[in-house]
Amino acid sequence: MVAEAASWIIVEVNQNRSTGRSSTDATASASSPSPSPSPGSQLLHGVDRWAARPLIALVIVAADALWVVFSVVVDFPSRLETIFQTLVAALTLAMVFVIQHTQAKTSTATQRKLDELLRALPGADNTFISLELAAEQDLQQAADSHLQIRAAAMKLGDRDRHGT
């Protein structure tokens, strides 16, 4: 697989040389600016990055501990407990949507990158590009066939390592 990728890169470089394109031209066209994400998406990603910081987790734990101590000192007033429960429920619900959005976007981007690698590698099985849309039975068949391929590759690798 690595040898195929390396040979593909060499072919690309040779094609660029023959057409007069430099490698910087190729990277410039590949990295052309894309439309910026929507303001809502930018906000959700910003909240996700902010909430993922360790200091924020420590602040939340400290605030929770202070709330518990305060509640014990003032004998657990029901109004304060209701406020606390409402805030926690609202924050939890909001964070579920933030995490879902950022994970879905990351997953989609990763899938597109993998699709591009499959499409670009000579000899790769392009039927796997749309595998995420396949029926459960098709997914199982693909998994079974790859178990057989993996087992054969491991046997071949063992023979190569042991010189047989």
How many Cβ atoms sit within 10 Å of the Cβ of residue 44? 20
For 54-112, write each residue's pLDDT tens digit. 998 899 899 989 988 988 898 888 888 899 899 999 999 999 999 998 899 888 889 88
The confidence score (pLDDT) of residue 59 equals 92
| Amino acid found at 104 | A
pLDDT bin (cut points 50, 70, 90) of residue 29 is very low
The confidence score (pLDDT) of residue 48 equals 87
Host domain of residue 119: 38-125
pTM, two decimals, is: 0.52
- 107 and 80 housed in the same domain: yes
Q: Are 88 and 28 in contact (CB under 8 A)?
A: no
- 113 and 60 housed in the same domain: yes
Asked whether the predicted pLDDT for residue 18 surpasses 80, the reply is no
What is the domain count for the chain? Answer: 2
- 101 and 149 housed in the same domain: no
- 65 and 116 housed in the same domain: yes
- 74 and 145 housed in the same domain: no
How many Cβ atoms sit within 10 Å of the Cβ of residue 61? 10
- 105 and 149 housed in the same domain: no
- 57 and 94 housed in the same domain: yes
The confidence score (pLDDT) of residue 6 equals 41
3-state helix, strand, coil in the chain (%, to 5): 85, 0, 15
The confidence score (pLDDT) of residue 148 equals 84
- 115 and 149 housed in the same domain: no
- 92 and 143 housed in the same domain: no
Q: How far is Cα 124 from Cα 1, in angstroms, rounded to an integer?
A: 9
Does 26 reside within a domain?
Answer: no
For 120-149, write each residue's pLDDT tens digit. 888 877 777 777 778 888 888 888 888 888
